[in-house]
Chain A
Amino acid sequence: MTEPTGRSQTAQELVTFHLDHDLYGVEVEQVVEVNRDLIWTPIPGAAPYVRGAANLRGHIVTIVDLRKILDYDERPEDLAKTVIIVNSRDELVGILVDRIADVVEADRSLIESAPRNMPQTQARCLSGVLKIEGGLISLLDLNAALD
């Protein structure tokens, strides 16, 4: 997670992941770890996108379903439970995603704002869009998405 020295100021490493066929990215600095074997306890009464609470080495981590937040269809049952643990507003939150993809180095200057015609539920959660070879990475604004 440490920035190697000499890297350009404009470079930004992104941890990328999939929801369906869409590629999303979060800044590597915000990512604590990727965890595939968390077991969470459902918490009745929580918002629909909250899957539950899990124990991460003694910390209670809220697990949220990003598909729900971004208005995707119900999560397929057979997906592996890949959780990206991020640090958001000084607490750990686990984001349930479909699949983890590569860590990508992005040039900040190439980040564009999200297209206008994007539904509000999604646009609200994005800080921008980055074109890469063969597709787009939607950059997740974690704090917005998790509030």
Chain B
Amino acid sequence: MPGETDELLAEVVTECLEHIDQMENLLLALEGNAQEIDPEVINSIFRSAHSIKGVTGFCGLNNIKELAHVFENVLNAYRQGQLTPNAGSVDIMLKANDFLKTMLINAAESESFDIDPMVRNLAGILEPGADATSVLVPEKLTFLSDSTGRFTFTVDEAMLQDRISRGHHLYILRLDLVRDAPVEKRTPIELVNHILSLGEMHETAFELDLVHVDEEAIRATVPLAVLFSSLIDSSMVAGALAVPAQDVDHLESLEPGAAIPLARAVPEQVVLPPTRPTPPPARESKATAAPPITPERPTASTPRASVASVPSSPVAAAPSPQAPPKKATAVPVQPPKPPAPPEPPRVQEPPRESAPEYGPPDGEPGPVVEAVKTPSTVVQNFLRVNVSLLDNLMNLAGELVLGRNQLLQTAGTINSSSLTPVAQRIDLITSELQAQIMQTRMQELAGVFNKFPRLVRDLSRSLGKKVDLKIEGQEVELDKTIIEALGDPLVHIVRNSMDHGIERPETRRAAGKPEMGTLEVRAYHEAGQVNIEIRDDGAGIDISRLKDKALRMGLISPMEAQTMSAQQALELIFKPGLSTAETVSDVSGRGVGMDVVRSNLERLGGILDLQSEKGKGTNTRIKLPLTMAIIPCLIVRLGKGERYAVPQINLTELVRVRSAEVGERIERIGGAEVLRLRGNLLPLVRLGEVLRTEGFFRDPITNELKKDRRQNIADRRAGESDEAADQYRIRRSGQDRRQSTSPLNILVLSAGDLEYGLIVDELEDTEEIVVKPLGRHLKEIPSYAGATIMGDGRVAPILDVPGLAQQAELGRKKDVAQKTAQSRAKEEMAARKDMEKVLVFNHGPQELFAVPIPLVARIERIDAGRIETAMGHLSVQYRGSSLRLIMLDRHLPLTPFPTVQKVFVIVFEVAGHEIGICASTLVDERLVPFDLDVHTHQRLGVMGSMIIDHKTVLVLDIFELVGLEEPRWLQDVTKPEKPATAPKVLLVEDSEFFLKKVAGYLKDSGFEVVLAMNGREGLEKLEKNKIDIVLTDIEMPVMNGIEMVRQIRANPKYAGMRILALSSLAGDDDIQRGIAAGVDKYLIKLDRGALIDALMEPYV
């Protein structure tokens, strides 16, 4: 069976590696608890080593077998109490274990490894100074032959005597790998495992000459004999092993001649009619050094059924003192029980699996079924299945769930009495099936956790630290995919704790802590999720050092460093490039860690939460879903429209705020809405808003669809986008109290340390949904974690709870005080695009107005008494001429101008005339995003309104005010003589507000206007249209004005094109850059007169 050999070898290796891992942990346990040795631990290691020896010998991996053998000898010495495990010897054992592992991993080359040094080391434990070879050869050897004489074993007699004295029965089993394995539907490895589960395999003998492949016969034979000892009674052993009874020799003692063929352990009542072939003659068995004799081979034709007909006389003739075979024949009706070990079980407990449990009959052929209910029914419940098969099943289950959902929906609408019950039944079965299939993919965390004892042991040695590792919850199960991906992140966290967390003993002592640090790794279930906690009682994370480092690396600004909360500072550890260790060690690496750890965990649908207290320790908590492919989600809706799935894992609770309570429970701090929930303030996010902020959003005030600027400036990623968002919130704040009169559905969501409320329009059911990946065009959107297909066949996006928080910039909302500080800082810095400096002043005490500072010529302070009235106009004598004044209450519905001693006069120059606006007090000079609400306070003379410091401020339109005050001044400006054909102006401006406003001026003045929102669009429009004049903003996304101007100037097609630039705050540098690029003239955005003049210039 050449093809099978590789497969067999692979299985043997897998199997052995499992043992190796187990042995490693047990050895560590032995080391850690040297005072009180648990005999069961030694027994377990012994059994594992023994299995390795047996199984590898089976495959001709002799090096491994021999090393395992010596290994086992040491364990045997422990077991017998001849030696006591100590740190030194366990260390050697661990190294030997590692060596075995290496050899197993390279099984094919294992024969070329030099095991002698390792053997010598182990031998040194047994007998200091002894020669290695003496260990390999047991002191007293006995040769045993089986009853056919074809197989001979060389065994340690003392060891066998030991087993016999403990009530074990000694058997020689003749197996045939071909016959016994496939027929019983088990692989050779399972056969071996099965045997091992029932007892001990001492030696195997493999007779090459007997391997026989008959070309004509379909079957080949690969015979093999096993020297086996077990507590199982001779009457049951053949059945239990599911091998023909004549192939089991029962050795009653090691005396020469004592080995006799096993009784045909079959109850009398199942004896078949004598038509069956008679059994082969009782076979003589061989013992000691007698040369093997070869009696007649057992009739190959003897079918299994014939076993039943064989009388049990041979055993009866030589009854075993411990377990008379009579027992089996005498009480056949009695329900089978595990044979009671004749000695107290504490001496040697059989491996747990071997405790024979009797399941129901498993359909073994023939009448033996009744009597021989074998333990094999239990053991064989385990199958090795290819993972890809499970994956396929999982996918199919996913499709089935979709189908089920569709069926339920259809059944719901049809409402047929015959369909409904069927649908319900399918529903139940599908759920069950899905759960079961999911179960097949579940694995214990032990696979991951078992790495830790060794890791911690080695690390504590190399770092010179003392650490007590406590592991809990190894039995907790998770989806295979998750378990596999979990290993590296967890190891990283444990390494971090060991390296940066737990201090050296002397440091600990100095800090008044016990020298021995504690590292706890704990897994437990909570609310359908698995939590893993890694907690150390070490030094904790030094936040100030973390901040320093982040500051040095330019990850945060000094302002942020000052204002950030402790938890936010702790979050810095997840920024790429940060490592808190003072020296880079090979243990925790170079700080490429925690960010990768977190993103890896989040990819698994997990949440990483870090808590640390300086001097007290660090606690890392990971929340994981049980499985990834199918997740329970709450389906929500926006309006009557699209559905979104919210993973249940992130959902803590649902809150419905009744309309009557909205005003009371929803509050506003800064620009942020918060919900008062059990005394805490929960930041709120409106799903509709968050999603729309990425593209278009509906202005809640004007109800018009606006293009969000954030998308435009995303590439610049500077402060102004936040500022715009702030402004948007600020603007909303005045409105929402009126809006929020409908009840609110709030999903309380948690993501890491972040908790927020998501306001949705409608809640639907909870559904088990199948997670499907989004295509590459959609994958990058942070708001979504994937998509699913709903019962009606439509797609619904799955919301990414941390991603949404990120979109809503909740990081800042959490700490409102900090937010204010930050936005101040930004205000100071952000003297850039779309920001306009305005002068805020009072008319009456309550009435706030603002004017753009670039339009202000100067400000005067005059005595109120100097104001004169003439011809219905107000004016003041000033520097020898008369300055016209405007009292705003003359043109706007305001309270009368207060009686004050001194009046501030804000002077403007419009169409060649000076005019002053009267103000009672000047409030402030502010840099604000100039995106005005042009609807709420629409009126001639008012450009629009904005909210500054929670107060409505009206921005004046000086041009219009002048028009109201003195229309004649403007006549020649507003009604220009139209050229024969209206000049076509290309207006390039990214601010919606300015775009509209300026386009309005232009159209009023008879220009034809083509609009573009950025430089690139401008160039495209320029190509398509016949443009006479280009009027452009400078700071724009995608392509800025300077670049666009350069390209226009570079194109001979546009030679001589008149290009004017608009700027709200043109610094000299900007102007220089603009002129250099080819701008003809700079204009101030809101200076309507100057603008029109400049445009008309060529036509006048």
* B865 interface contact, C-beta 8 A: no
Report the bound CA distance from A59 to B773 in whole Å.
9
Report the bound CA distance from A39 to B777 in whole Å.
18
* B1050 interface contact, C-beta 8 A: no
* A1 interface contact, C-beta 8 A: no
Report the bound CA distance from A41 to B402 in whole Å.
17
- B760 CB to closest chain A CB (Å) equals 13
Stretch at the interface among A5-13, A16-24, A42-50, A97-105: A42-50
* B926 interface contact, C-beta 8 A: no
Question: Which of these, A39, A48, A52, A59, contacts B695 with CB under 8 Å?
Answer: A48
A53 x B691 contact (CB < 8 A): no
Stretch at the interface among B152-160, B417-425, B790-798, B1066-1074: B790-798
**Cβ-Cβ contact count across A and B, 8 Å cutoff:** 76
Question: Which of these, A42, A46, A60, A121, contacts B642 with CB under 8 Å?
Answer: A42
Question: Which of these, B642, B695, B776, B1020, contacts A41 with CB under 8 Å?
Answer: B642
Among B399, B642, B777, the one with the most A-chain Cβ atoms within 10 Å of its Cβ is B777
- B685 CB to closest chain A CB (Å) equals 14
Interface extent on B, as a size class?
20 to 34
* B1023 interface contact, C-beta 8 A: yes
In the complex, per-residue mask of B616-650: 1 if CB is within 8 Å of any chain A CB, else 0:
00000000000000000000000000110000000
* A34 interface contact, C-beta 8 A: no
B399 x A91 contact (CB < 8 A): no
* A14 interface contact, C-beta 8 A: no
A46 x B695 contact (CB < 8 A): yes
Residues of chain A contacted by B789 (CB below 8 angstroms) = 55, 58, 60
Residues of chain A contacted by B772 (CB below 8 angstroms) = 58-60
Residues of chain B contacted by A146 (CB below 8 angstroms) = 777
B695 x A45 contact (CB < 8 A): yes
Report the bound CA distance from A22 to B378 in whole Å.
72
Among B781, B789, B794, B795, the one with the most A-chain Cβ atoms within 10 Å of its Cβ is B795
Residue of B nearest to A91 (CB): B775
* B787 interface contact, C-beta 8 A: yes
- A99 CB to closest chain B CB (Å) equals 24
- Given A44-B695, A45-B695, A53-B787, A62:B774 Cβ within 8 A: yes
Residue of A nearest to B643 (CB): A41
* B783 interface contact, C-beta 8 A: yes
B797 x A53 contact (CB < 8 A): yes
In the complex, per-residue mask of A122-147: 1 if CB is within 8 Å of any chain B CB, else 0:
00000000000000000000000010
Residues of chain B contacted by A64 (CB below 8 angstroms) = 777
A50 x B778 contact (CB < 8 A): yes
Q: Which chain B residues numbered 683 to 703 have a C-beta less than 8 Å away from chain A?
A: 691-692, 694-695
Residue of B nearest to A59 (CB): B772
* B784 interface contact, C-beta 8 A: yes
Report the bound CA distance from A134 to B434 in whole Å.
58
Question: Which of these, B692, B695, B773, B1023, contacts A60 with CB under 8 Å?
Answer: B773
- B628 CB to closest chain A CB (Å) equals 16
Residue of B nearest to A42 (CB): B642
Residues of chain A contacted by B787 (CB below 8 angstroms) = 53, 60
* A61 interface contact, C-beta 8 A: yes
Residues of chain A contacted by B643 (CB below 8 angstroms) = 41
A44 x B692 contact (CB < 8 A): yes
* A66 interface contact, C-beta 8 A: no
B642 x A91 contact (CB < 8 A): no
A53 x B795 contact (CB < 8 A): yes
* A54 interface contact, C-beta 8 A: yes
* A119 interface contact, C-beta 8 A: yes
Residues of chain B contacted by A93 (CB below 8 angstroms) = 775, 777
Report the bound CA distance from A146 to B784 in whole Å.
20
A43 x B776 contact (CB < 8 A): no
Question: Which of these, A39, A43, A59, contacts B778 with CB under 8 Å?
Answer: A43
- A32 CB to closest chain B CB (Å) equals 14
A119 x B797 contact (CB < 8 A): no
A41 x B694 contact (CB < 8 A): no
Question: Which of these, A40, A44, A47, A71, contacts B777 with CB under 8 Å?
Answer: A47
Residues of chain A contacted by B774 (CB below 8 angstroms) = 43, 53, 60, 62
* A89 interface contact, C-beta 8 A: yes
Residue of B nearest to A54 (CB): B795
Report the bound CA distance from A50 to B694 in whole Å.
13
- A92 CB to closest chain B CB (Å) equals 8
A45 x B795 contact (CB < 8 A): no
Report the bound CA distance from A146 to B777 in whole Å.
8
B399 x A58 contact (CB < 8 A): yes
Residue of B nearest to A120 (CB): B1020
Known: A41-B795, A61-B775, A146-B777. 9 other contacts (CB 8 A): A41-B797, A45-B784, A46-B695, A54-B795, A55-B795, A60-B774, A60-B775, A64-B777, A91-B776
The 4 closest A-B pairs by CB, nearest first: A45-B694, A62-B775, A44-B691, A41-B795
A–B pairs, 8, beta carbons within 8 Å: A39-B793, A42-B642, A45-B783, A60-B774, A62-B774, A92-B775, A93-B775, A119-B1020
